[in-house]
A and B are shown apart, each in its own frame.
Chain A
């Protein structure tokens, strides 16, 4: 009955608990992710950052869309919402605006956030909705079997580009920057400590914060792109990455054979988030009404 994932294994005895066990729904282990996948390390960094910043677990909300990354919201022991494909950001916006004291996070994949949900991403940036959005970018549609993504590097192979990809990918930090995000960073899932620090920094800010996490998918991306071994993509990340804080986001496009620029690129001062603006407006309306009386 291996398809009955919810049955899982029995919880591990205490001495074998994962260091982040208090954040996990251990009864749901094992998870569905493949060996070499970067989703686990990303969530590890996120949970550690929540610990570091000292955010009450009961106030943490995790909203995800569809795809491999989308499944994460069901593995973490916080309020988890596994929504429809692409709609995690507006769903999270609804939660955040009603309960502004909650720490609302959207953690989802590149297909979810930048293809089907691309419009929601740029508009939430523009409005400065108070959300932390982490895009786990594996350059491919992993769960559906390796189809072309809006982030697949030029020339790469996928099941729907058997002769190579002719579409330039999105440079997602540039998109976030241009759309007005207050925090923009890029890391990879092998830079766990630096990623954790970046997430902690973002968690301490208000407004729309975006972190792209490049993540290996050996099974459905690496296999068709000469990165077949479980650690090939990790090696590519390690060997090609250059950390450049404050880099001009126009210059961080990912191209094969060129350095991968990582770092905390944008930190922008915007006094008020979308919710704060709404409340300010409410005050103005109320004062005007009282003035009339």
Chain B
């Protein structure tokens, strides 16, 4: 058996770091469909999995890949797929099923320019709202966004842990410039990687109800073939997993599916704050844009401008409490992002009544430079 966790110092592309992060997290089932700029993840896993006893399958399309990782998860595997925007569009079908059936799994989206086929080889952050609202119906989902190969590795592991803990598909929302840029990645010793596994039933099959939640609103999960006669469906269902297409059942189930995320916001939401203590202007960024954003804040500080940086690591659920808290102190939020305003709208909503919010948009294709963000800070600081 080959080594699963490649403890040591590496120089990896983000895509490779994601593949290795998944392996380190215990992922042993991967299903995919080729797409730029995410194909390197499947390529790397297809080489690595036979060494470590994982199953890697290239499917006929993203619809199938997403369905397969749900099935694999029900059979007890930690599973993952990787794609880009056009593939995520197809996957949202079964992403919804994953939410409804409460299936722990991880979907990696290496964002590229859109809409449609857009810019296949160039970067963007246009799938932020799709990650949240792509599938139909009211639901909560978790999405994290890395800014570098190292963070891609770390956050892939965290994606698995969150998926396992909350029984929900988790999206790693990376972008082409993370997937295709190389950097130092330190892989810790295996025993230092903290892993979470889903809760298993503690009662015998005759007492087990697949959708009876514990106090934390999350039901323990039995696997196929363990004698629990699991009944599960994409239809609205009761605690037995039996279809119950009534308004009452819908109310109870859908509230819980949302609340199991909303009530654990404190544990899920992660941000990185810099220079915020006395900041009057805050740059809110995520993914690779947070690197030029931090640089711009540093440049502004050198000029004596009271600027700070809030980097969102968790994209969904949105860090609303963080923005609301700082909105009392800062006069203005600047949101640079590689789209025409997505997280901007969230920040603006939470800051409303306290602070202004300014968007620094780029439609994708290339990153925003530190100078561009710095110029915006300088401009608003003179107001």
Contact = CB atoms under 8 A, between A and B. Distances in A.
Given A74-B233, A97-B72, A98-B77, A83 B67 contact: yes
Contacts of A25: 229, 231, 242
A28 B242 contact: yes
Contacts of B246: 3-4
Main DSSP-derived SS at the A contact region: helix
A99 interface: yes
Contact of B229 (A79, A84, A90, A284): A79
6 contacts: A6-B244, A71-B243, A94-B29, A95-B75, A96-B75, A281-B50
B50 A84 contact: no
Contact of A98 (B29, B51, B93): B29
Nearest to A60: B225
Contacts of A63: 71
Contacts of A289: 2, 51
Contacts of B53: 282
A61 B224 contact: yes
Interface in A69-102: 71, 73-74, 77-84, 86-87, 89-99, 101-102
Contact of B71 (A74, A81, A281, A282): A81
Given A97-B57, A282-B50, A102 B225 contact: yes
A25 B241 CA distance: 12
B79 A94 contact: yes
A6 B211 CA distance: 14
Interface residues of A, number: 47
A119 B67 contact: no
A17 interface: no
Interface of A: 3-6, 25, 28, 58-59, 61, 63, 66, 71, 73-74, 77-84, 86-87, 89-99, 101-102, 119-120, 123, 278, 281-282, 284-286, 289
Contacts, number: 156
B305 interface: no
B102 interface: no
B224 A286 contact: no
Nearest to A32: B243
Nearest 10 Cβ contacts at the A-B interface: A94-B71, A98-B75, A90-B64, A82-B233, A94-B72, A94-B68, A87-B67, A285-B50, A58-B227, A90-B67
Given A90-B63, A91-B67, A95-B75, A82 B234 contact: yes
Residue with the highest number of chain B CB atoms closer than 10 Å, among A63, A80, A91, A278: A91
Contacts of A282: 50, 53
A84 B244 contact: no
Contacts of A66: 234
B6 to A, nearest CB: 14
B196 interface: no
A94 B75 CA distance: 8
Given A25-B229, A285-B50, 14 more contacts: A4-B244, A6-B244, A63-B71, A81-B232, A81-B233, A84-B234, A87-B93, A94-B29, A94-B73, A95-B72, A97-B29, A119-B64, A120-B63, A289-B51
B242 A74 contact: yes
Given A58-B225, A74-B242, A87-B94, A120 B64 contact: yes
Nearest to A71: B243
B74 A81 contact: yes
A6 B239 CA distance: 11
A285 B51 contact: yes
A105 to B, nearest CB: 12
Contacts of A61: 224-225
B68 A91 contact: yes
Nearest to B70: A91
A94 to B, nearest CB: 3
B277 interface: no
A123 B59 contact: yes
B164 to A, nearest CB: 15
Contact of A87 (B63, B77, B230, B242): B63
B31 interface: yes
B82 interface: no
Contacts of A99: 75-76, 223-225
Contacts of A71: 243
Interface in B15-70: 28-29, 31, 50-51, 53, 55, 57, 59-61, 63-65, 67-70
B68 A93 contact: yes
